[in-house]
Each structure stands twice: as C-alpha cells, then as structure tokens.
A and B are shown apart, each in its own frame.
Chain A
C-alpha cells in the first residue's frame, strides 16, 4: 500500500458529496438489478458466457485472422498495435492523414488505457467525450468515478458551472435546462467532427463486425456522423459468432445497470455504402466512408500465456463486480488511481499498465468474494488477487516484520503462547472494566478508533481445554475442534461453548494439541512457503486422533484448511492425500449440528428475535447459508433478516489494518442494517466477524449483543429447554 493510495482513500471517504451520490447510485443499481434478474437463470447464462469466452481466448489466433479477413472484406482497415505507444502513434498518423481537427469519442476503457485522448489533444486535435458523464469528467479534468455514473461525485452546482463554462452560457441549476445545453453542445460536436472514435463491446469474427452499446445514443452518433470512424479494440473482445454476442448481451446490461437491454446496440460491419448513384457501389452514404479498426495487445497476449491470469481476459467490462464490491461502495473509482478498478482491476492493471500500481489496487481487496459471485463470466477474481500478491511477494520479498511473523511466530504454538502471555501484561492498562479495549495509544491505535477490541485472553483456549486433548473411547463420533488464532487467544469461551454443545449432542469433542495458525495471513499475503509449513503442522495435528469431523468457528480458517491446503500440497501427492483427509472432515459448527441431529424436532418458539450475518467465507467460500438459519429456527428463534446480510463486515483482507477508516465505512453500513432490524442479538458463525461487529457496536454504545451460534445456544437463552 502506497501513501498516495492511503491519501486517495481518505479523500474519498471525506467527500460527503461522493458518499451520498454513490450510496444513491449503488442503491438504485441494486434495486433495478433485482428486477432485471428476476426472470433469468443467471447460473445457466453465466456458464454460457464463460464457455464462449474460454473458447474464444483459446482459439484467439484463428479468430483474429478470421476477424481481420472478414472486416477487410467488408471494407474496414485493420491495424494490429503491439502496445499503447504503437496504438497512439498509428491513430495520430491516421488522424493526420485525414487532416482531422475535431474528434468525437464515445466511451472506451481501452482508449483510456492507452491515453488516447491526451495524446491526440497534445497533437492539437480537439477531442470531445460524448457520453454526458464522461464529458463532465473531461471538463473537470478528472477520471470517471463509476462505469455507469462517471460523474456521480459531482454536485449539480459543479456540473452547472462546468457546463456553463464549456457552452459559454450562464445556466441555472435546473437539471433539464443543463441537459438541454449539453445536448445542444454535443450535437454541434457531432456535426463538426471529422472523425469519430469508439471502442467496441464485442467484435464478431464471422463477419468482421463491431458491436457498440450506449444508452444515451452517443455511440450511434459518434460512429455515424463523422466521415471517418476509428475503433480501438482489445483482442479479448473477439468472439466467433453473432449468437455469442447475443448471449453476452443477455447479461451485460443487466450486470452494468440493471437493464434488460442497452437502449442502443449497434452492429457495424464496414463503412456505410449505397448503390443509389449510377456506377459502382459507393462508400460513405449518410455515414462514414472509412472504418479503421485498431486491435491492441498491450499485455493481453502475455496474459493469455499465463495459466493463473488468463481468465481475466474473460472480463466483459460490465462492472457487476464493482456494483457489489463493499470497498468500491465506499471509495468509488477515482481512488484506485487507474482506470481498472476493484479486484479484476488489480489484475488488468498489472498486465496492461503497471505492477506497482496493481499492488496498490490489490491492497484494497477484502477477499470477500462478492465479485466472484456476481461475475457473468464466472471469473475467480479473489483467487487471482491472491496469486498476484503472491507473485509480487515472491519478486520483492515480504516486509521484514511480516516475514518474521509468518515464518517464526505463527508456526510455533509455543512461541505464540509466550508472546500472547507477554501481551496480556502489556494490554492491562487499556482494558476497561467490562473487559473491552477502547483505545490504545500507539500500536493498533488507528483500529481502536474504529472498533473496540477484546483483550487477549488471560487463559487461552489450549489451556482451558487441557482435559480435552484426546477423545475418550466412547464410540461416539469424534469431533476435533480447530479454533484458529482468534478462537484461541481472543474468544476462548466460544471454543468451550462448542465443546459443551457438542458433548450434549452425542459426540465426543476434543481439542488437538499442536494445532497452529491456519496460515491464512501468510497465504493471502502470498507467502506460500510459510503457509505450506503451517499446513503440514495442522494436517498432522488434526488427523492424529482420526476424528470423524473437524469443527471450525472461523470460516476463513476453514476455507484455508479445506481448499488452500489442497492447492499448497499439489506437488506432493502424499501430503495432498492427507490434506484431502482433513478437508473432507471440515464442518462449520451449525452445519455439523444439523448433520448430527437431522431429525431433531423443532423446539417451541422462544419469543426471541435474532438476526444473522453471513460471513463471506462461509456463504461464498463454502456455500453455507441455509444451515445456520435452519438451526436457529429449529432452536426456536425468530429470524429477522437484515438488509445485505451477506455483505462483508469490513474485516476482510488486510484492509482492516492497512485502511482502518475504509474498514469502518464498510462496517458502518453493516451496523446500520443490523440496527434497522430492531433486534437485540446478531448471530454469526465467524469469530473475526464477531470481533468486528461487536467492536463497532460497542463504539456506538449499542446494547445489541453479537454472538457466535455456539455461544447463543450454550448460554441461558436457550438451554432451558
């Protein structure tokens, strides 16, 4: 994380205009999205898009040849540019050849990627962005804040001022009057332009066709009014056939703006033509006589060559991932510092722009997986972000402190215990009477401004469960408890509750000694070596007593134990086999309880309302979200759903440490949603979520209690039955 990034995050969070406008925009998109997806099988259609993109990228060399040949046959001129510099130079040469003075441009991310507008402006050409939002941003000399609302951060007063200045009139702040002035000005720009520049949402190989989508109508006008049309197209936009384009359209606008279809979709095949005038067919009839297509590589072929990052090329630039990203909802587009934003932006930035900037973008990722679930091309963005961080860590080496932490301390439970003990002395002066830390002067002080912290337990879980180090030979199912760091040192009572409930539920719970940190901090920072060594320690500790199940209280740890250990051990078949044995036995607490008591009778209503928060790694990581709810209802609780129950609480990734204010802004929305339910208890199945939400509610002086399901079931509320 760079200082510049931290500064931009602050600026965005402090910008009240932006915050209000962004909330409104994203709320609107979410609302219309629900309607647009109501009659649709997202799963089926996204599989279809995935298949089309996989095939297209796999067969790209052939498709490029076909596209070039068909487009040329239709009368277009195709140029292949190696990189941004090549593309810029070629385009300015073309512009010069036609003596171009005025250009109208419709939205193109690739255009921004290669700095096209700035380059042409430097060459003395006047370039007008024709999307209204883009034009406002251009007039302000800024970058777009959002794909759908590029100028969403601007107030009416600011927009009025910009448009007044640009059109030389004194406009009032009446939106309709401003829009009329904008339309008139842009109309004039189309009329005087001698070249129109566009991108392409899709390029169709079978006919050499460009497909361009707009809602305002600017795409149609900027590609039809001027005598020359030039399109910049990334290679990844090519698909084989018209029907593939249709499949993509079925989701594209729904994902972008919650619309079934864009208002205007243009399929352009070569220049306009007419046979009205005697003689041969003439080009340039009420439309451009020349169509230039510039195919741009700029790192795309290199990306295609990697196994880890190829799928980033499946991106159809719909922005669905940004619409659901909790970080984006807090900071918006300009904060990322480059045109490609969010998790996918980190990957694209790394290959198409600059690795250092990519690291900055990646540092904003919570790892909450909301993007992955929303992606119409089913791109595993969180996996790539982790991989990117790993590659960068490998290249540069981890910072010294992290290296020490991951490789020495976390690896050895005894060292960890010793350190924790030391910590319990240090923290003493800061613990309030109710065992909560509300402020630490130095270390972690930024965090305690946001959330109150639990103190390190004086007696950690391993010591508390000394008597449970092995299962008694009772013949009941053996359940190993894996507690994770937070479960061991911050909330040891939850582990005790788990053991209590499991004993009551006819199992033989025990706490395997020798278990260590799951390795998530190392793994997600890209230190695979340290993560592997922790994996081996835990696999050995967990398999030792041959448990029937391994129960976890932290879905983050569970995910690492279940999936990443398999990834980490792929090159070692024996360890991989053992990792599989562990993975198969992993259960979430609620999941296990339901599995054990599948025929359990529903308990009488307790007249107690609770709301449930879905931990990211439990819902999207493991697909568990009905089980905790079913269990709560079986236990007789009345479940009141909060809005966005599956949106991250803000604890994910390193965001909580690197950008505490950002984490707080995400947490704020969660707490607001919780308070809006009016219930007094929030239940969740993840201890880091408990830490974050409990800490946040405490800062609000809220009376609402936050509990792990095990805690709720084990305390007086419920065991009366």
Chain B
C-alpha cells in the first residue's frame, strides 16, 4: 500500500476518533467477524439489523453472529427476502413467492399485490430497526479530512440502521478512504443525471463521529438521539492488527 493511502488512513482515524468514533482495524476481511462479535458480546447485544454490505456478505457475518446467539435481521429489502427464503444470495422470485415469504414473516395472509407487500415489508423492517440493539452498515466511502463515513442507499433503511440502534458499526475498506468531500462525488460519479445517465441514490448520509447534545443544561451529553456508540471497523491489509 502506498504512503499516500496509509497517510489517509491515519488522518481518517485521527479525525473520526476526535469526533467520538471508536476505531478498529483488521488486516483480513475474515477478521471482521470476530471483531464485530466481540463488540456485540461485550455489550450484551441480542439483536442486530444489517443494511446492504458486500463486505459482510463475503464473510457470512450474519450467519456468524447468529451462530453465536445474536439475532440478525437484514434491513435491505432484497437481502431480507433472501434471508426469509433461506437463500444465500438474492434471487429473482415471483410476486407470489414474495407474497408467501412476507406473509409468513408478518403473520398475515397477504395478496401478491406489490403495494400491499411493500407496506407489510416496511412495517416489519422498520420495527426491526426500532427494536435492534446494534446496526451494521458498510460505508461506500470515508473522508479523511473530517473523519466522516459516507453511506449510500435508495432505501430509507440505509439511514435507519445507522441512527436507530444504540450501537452502530460501520465496515470500511481502507482503500475507500478519500481525502476530501469533493472526492466522494467523483468516486460515485455524482453529477447531473441527464449528462451521464447516472442516477443519484436517494440517500447519501454523512456521519462524523458520535452524536451529542448540549441542550440539557449543565453538560454536553453523548448520545443525543442517535446511537450511544459509533464504531468503525477498517479492513486494512497493511495494518498490524486490531488497534482498538
């Protein structure tokens, strides 16, 4: 790994820590499993929600946590359907199959009507997010300048997973760290739709450290309305080990 990249990692870690995030570094993708599990067990986490994450899927993070007794719900709609179907990967199901899956999950007998199914899915998934102790996300990018994580998604759950549970963990590949905010737009080719045909995701959410409030007199208190803990697990192949 070039010096420039390692400098960016150092800067990101430094800024994120200053903003109140807790940084963890692992050298191998597989090591994410133990890192997250340890965090969950130390904090008596019983249930977790997970939004779209290729990193997590690559190492079967959900199964790993479930085997250790942590209930994990997929919050991404497609992933959730796959989870319900017991599939490893999201597969194209028919509307009838989807209706069956959601009917079982929500304990209702639902018609194979997209709107009906969407409403039922919304109710279930939102409730998972409200009830979960831990939210797991993957950052599409991170900004070294300010220690900010960037989470993208078309579904609102990309945000709910990040703000509702009391613990939030973001997985991040070291090579996804960019120097400045402007570099994020370049990375995701965010510009006017009619020029590139590129569609901007509905939500791009930037998170810099842990939320706090000074509105209750006498003290600056952490955990205003979002999570009490904001963890970042960086997969850095050149790192020495978990530095947390």
Interface residues of A (CB under 8 A from B): 21, 25, 28, 70, 73-74, 130-133, 136, 148-151, 154-156, 159, 175-176, 178-179, 182-183, 186-187, 191, 206-207, 209, 215-218, 220-221, 224-225, 241-243, 246, 249-250, 259-280, 282, 284-288
14 A-B interface contacts by CB (under 8 A): A131-B215, A220-B159, A220-B205, A242-B182, A261-B148, A267-B203, A267-B204, A274-B118, A274-B155, A278-B94, A279-B114, A285-B156, A286-B75, A286-B126
Q: What chain A residues lie within 8 Å of B206 (beta carbons)?
A: 261, 264-267
The distance from the CB of A713 to the nearest CB of chain B, in whole angstroms, is 47
Q: Are B202 and A287 closer than 8 Å at their CB atoms?
A: yes
The distance from the CB of A690 to the nearest CB of chain B, in whole angstroms, is 39
The residue from B19, B77, B121 contacting A263, defined by CB atoms under 8 A apart? B19
The distance from the CB of B103 to the nearest CB of chain A, in whole angstroms, is 13
Say yes or no for B201: interface residue by CB 8 A criterion. Answer: yes
With A132-B216, A274-B154, A277-B98 in contact, do A217 and B202 touch (Cβ < 8 Å)? Answer: no
Chain-A contact segment, one of B53-61, B64-72, B184-192: B184-192
Q: Are B217 and A186 closer than 8 Å at their CB atoms?
A: no
Q: Are A149 and B215 closer than 8 Å at their CB atoms?
A: yes
Chain-A contact segment, one of B2-10, B32-40, B221-229, B231-239: B221-229
Q: What chain A residues lie within 8 Å of B175 (beta carbons)?
A: none
With A249-B181, A274-B154, A278-B92 in contact, do A261 and B203 touch (Cβ < 8 Å)? Answer: no
The residue from A74, A243, A264 contacting B226, defined by CB atoms under 8 A apart? A264
Q: What chain A residues lie within 8 Å of B200 (beta carbons)?
A: 74, 207, 209, 269
- Closest residue on chain A to residue B116 by CB atoms: A277
Q: How far is the CA of A131 from the CA of B219 in the complex (A)?
A: 16
The residue from A25, A216, A280, A287 contacting B225, defined by CB atoms under 8 A apart? A216
- Closest residue on chain A to residue B119 by CB atoms: A284
Q: What chain B residues lie within 8 Å of A178 (beta carbons)?
A: 216
Say yes or no for B177: interface residue by CB 8 A criterion. Answer: no
- Closest residue on chain B to residue A75 by CB atoms: B202
Q: What chain B residues lie within 8 Å of A70 (beta carbons)?
A: 192-193
With A150-B215, A246-B182 in contact, do A278 and B95 touch (Cβ < 8 Å)? Answer: yes
With A285-B154, A287-B159 in contact, do A263 and B181 touch (Cβ < 8 Å)? Answer: no
Q: What chain B residues lie within 8 Å of A262 (beta carbons)?
A: 208
Q: How far is the CA of A356 from the CA of B134 in the complex (A)?
A: 53
With A73-B193, A285-B77 in contact, do A277 and B117 touch (Cβ < 8 Å)? Answer: yes
Say yes or no for B137: interface residue by CB 8 A criterion. Answer: no
Q: Are A215 and B122 closer than 8 Å at their CB atoms?
A: no
A-contacting residues, B136-158, CB 8 Å = 145-148, 154-158
Q: Are A264 and B205 closer than 8 Å at their CB atoms?
A: yes
Q: What chain A residues lie within 8 Å of B98 (beta carbons)?
A: 277-278
The residue from A73, A155, A209, A285 contacting B217, defined by CB atoms under 8 A apart? A155
The residue from B118, B163, B205 contacting A265, defined by CB atoms under 8 A apart? B205
Q: Are A216 and B213 closer than 8 Å at their CB atoms?
A: yes
The 9 A-B residue pairs whose C-beta atoms are closest, nearest first, are A287-B156, A217-B226, A276-B77, A286-B157, A216-B224, A286-B156, A133-B215, A265-B206, A132-B215
Q: How far is the CA of A115 from the CA of B174 in the complex (A)?
A: 47
Q: Are B225 and A277 closer than 8 Å at their CB atoms?
A: no
Say yes or no for B44: interface residue by CB 8 A criterion. Answer: no
What total of chain B residues lie within 8 Å of the partner, measured CB to CB?
70
- Closest residue on chain B to residue A217 by CB atoms: B226
Q: How far is the CA of A242 from the CA of B181 in the complex (A)?
A: 10
Q: How far is the CA of A353 from the CA of B212 in the complex (A)?
A: 33
Having A183-B223, A287-B157, one finds 7 other A-B pairs with CB under 8 Å, namely A28-B214, A131-B215, A220-B205, A264-B208, A265-B206, A286-B156, A287-B160
Q: Are A271 and B202 closer than 8 Å at their CB atoms?
A: yes
Say yes or no for B244: interface residue by CB 8 A criterion. Answer: no
- Closest residue on chain B to residue A183 by CB atoms: B225
The residue from A136, A220, A241 contacting B163, defined by CB atoms under 8 A apart? A220
Q: Are B202 and A272 closer than 8 Å at their CB atoms?
A: yes
The distance from the CB of A165 to the nearest CB of chain B, in whole angstroms, is 16
Q: Are A215 and B95 closer than 8 Å at their CB atoms?
A: no
Contact mask for chain B residues 25-49; partner A; CB cutoff 8 A; 1 contact, 0 none: 0000000000000000000000000
Q: Are B160 and A225 closer than 8 Å at their CB atoms?
A: yes
- Closest residue on chain B to residue A66 by CB atoms: B192
Q: What chain B residues lie within 8 Å of A156 (beta carbons)?
A: 216-218
Q: How far is the CA of A217 from the CA of B230 in the complex (A)?
A: 13
With A277-B77, A286-B77 in contact, do A260 and B15 touch (Cβ < 8 Å)? Answer: yes
Q: How far is the CA of A270 from the CA of B154 in the complex (A)?
A: 9
Q: What chain A residues lie within 8 Å of B181 (beta carbons)?
A: 246, 249-250
Q: How far is the CA of A264 from the CA of B145 in the complex (A)?
A: 15
Say yes or no for B211: interface residue by CB 8 A criterion. Answer: yes
The distance from the CB of A144 to the nearest CB of chain B, in whole angstroms, is 11
The residue from A191, A215, A269, A275 contacting B201, defined by CB atoms under 8 A apart? A269
Q: Are A268 and B215 closer than 8 Å at their CB atoms?
A: no
The distance from the CB of B200 to the nearest CB of chain A, in whole angstroms, is 5
Contact mask for chain B residues 71-114; partner A; CB cutoff 8 A; 1 contact, 0 none: 00001111011000000000011110010000000000000001
The distance from the CB of A282 to the nearest CB of chain B, in whole angstroms, is 5
With A155-B217, A156-B217, A263-B209 in contact, do A272 and B154 touch (Cβ < 8 Å)? Answer: yes
Most chain-A CB neighbours within 10 Å: which of B157, B158, B211, B217? Answer: B217
Q: Are A186 and B225 closer than 8 Å at their CB atoms?
A: yes
With A215-B211, A216-B226, A224-B160 in contact, do A282 and B118 touch (Cβ < 8 Å)? Answer: yes
The distance from the CB of B23 to the nearest CB of chain A, in whole angstroms, is 16
- Closest residue on chain A to residue B195 by CB atoms: A206
Say yes or no for B125: interface residue by CB 8 A criterion. Answer: yes
With A263-B207, A276-B81 in contact, do A149 and B214 touch (Cβ < 8 Å)? Answer: yes
Q: What chain A residues lie within 8 Å of B93 (beta carbons)?
A: 278
The residue from B117, B164, B180, B211 contacting A246, defined by CB atoms under 8 A apart? B180
- Closest residue on chain A to residue B204 by CB atoms: A267
Say yes or no for B162: interface residue by CB 8 A criterion. Answer: yes
Q: How far is the CA of A217 from the CA of B185 in the complex (A)?
A: 23
- Closest residue on chain B to residue A243 by CB atoms: B182
Q: Are B114 and A220 closer than 8 Å at their CB atoms?
A: no
Q: Are A132 and B225 closer than 8 Å at their CB atoms?
A: yes
The residue from A131, A261, A266 contacting B19, defined by CB atoms under 8 A apart? A261
Q: What chain A residues lie within 8 Å of B216 (beta carbons)?
A: 132, 156, 159, 175, 178-179, 182
Q: How far is the CA of A589 from the CA of B200 in the complex (A)?
A: 60
With A249-B181, A262-B208, A277-B114 in contact, do A218 and B225 touch (Cβ < 8 Å)? Answer: yes
- Closest residue on chain A to residue B201 by CB atoms: A269
With A132-B225, A216-B213 in contact, do A221 and B163 touch (Cβ < 8 Å)? Answer: yes
Q: How far is the CA of A249 from the CA of B208 in the complex (A)?
A: 13
Q: How far is the CA of A73 from the CA of B200 in the complex (A)?
A: 11
Q: How far is the CA of A669 from the CA of B47 in the complex (A)?
A: 54
Q: How far is the CA of A242 from the CA of B162 in the complex (A)?
A: 23
Q: How far is the CA of A484 from the CA of B185 in the complex (A)?
A: 57
The distance from the CB of B102 to the nearest CB of chain A, in whole angstroms, is 9
Q: Are A276 and B78 closer than 8 Å at their CB atoms?
A: yes
Most chain-B CB neighbours within 10 Å: which of A133, A178, A271, A287? Answer: A287
Q: Are B215 and A136 closer than 8 Å at their CB atoms?
A: yes
Q: Are B210 and A263 closer than 8 Å at their CB atoms?
A: yes
Q: How far is the CA of A132 from the CA of B211 in the complex (A)?
A: 12
Q: What chain B residues lie within 8 Å of A241 (beta carbons)?
A: 191
Q: Are B218 and A175 closer than 8 Å at their CB atoms?
A: yes
Q: How far is the CA of A635 from the CA of B153 in the complex (A)?
A: 66
Q: How far is the CA of A400 from the CA of B126 in the complex (A)?
A: 67
Q: Are B130 and A191 closer than 8 Å at their CB atoms?
A: yes
Q: Are B159 and A224 closer than 8 Å at their CB atoms?
A: yes
The distance from the CB of B155 to the nearest CB of chain A, in whole angstroms, is 4
